[in-house]
Amino acid sequence: MDAYCTKIGKLEGKFYSIEYHHVVHDQNQLTDHLSKLGSSRIMILPGVFVQDLLTPSIKEDKGVQEVHPAEQLVLTVASPATDWKEQFIKYLTSAEVPTDKTETERLIRQSKHYVLVDGNLMRKNAKEGIL
């Protein structure tokens, strides 16, 4: 699949635009039906043409080397970051929010699940109130 994506990337300059449309599996009945026909090996209906592709339709570059997943791992060292609870406590006590809009929306949405009890952050239980 990577070879096809690379080939498409090289051809992008020859077109005005390229659009990719993701079709949700549940809404792609035609492909589902075709795959079932192919896997069941039933007799092909008259008027349906089949072309078996025995070789890849593009030539892969030999210069591509596969890297073992263990070599791709990068060690990340956690910087001395603040505790995740501090943001919630600040928001619940003083309505102080981060400057980033996305972070602010996330904080407001998630803070609905927490309550401060004697200065301690506690998660709300949907049925009983507090855990």
> What pLDDT, in 10s, does the model give residues 106-129?
888 888 888 888 888 888 875 555
77 confidence band (pLDDT: 50, 70, 90): low
Residues in contact with 3: Cβ distance below 8 Å, sequence separation at least 6, in sequence order = 56, 58, 60, 61, 64
Alpha-carbon distance 52 to 5, whole Å? 22
Q: What's residue 128's pLDDT? A: 52
CA atoms within 13 A on the CB side of 117: 8
pLDDT value at 65 more than 70: no
The span from the CA of 123 to the CA of 36, in Å, is: 47
DSSP letter, residue 55? S
* Closest residue by Cα to residue 87 from 71, 108, 69: 108
Structure tokens at 11: 């051809």
| pLDDT value at 45 more than 80 | no
pLDDT at 104: 87
Q: What's residue 123's pLDDT?
A: 84
Residue 131 has pLDDT above 60, yes or no: no
pTM: 0.34
- Under the banding of pLDDT at 50, 70 and 90, the label for residue 54 is confident
Contact, 110 vs 117, CB < 8 A?
Answer: no
Per the document, the length of the chain is: 131
End-to-end CA distance of the chain: 48
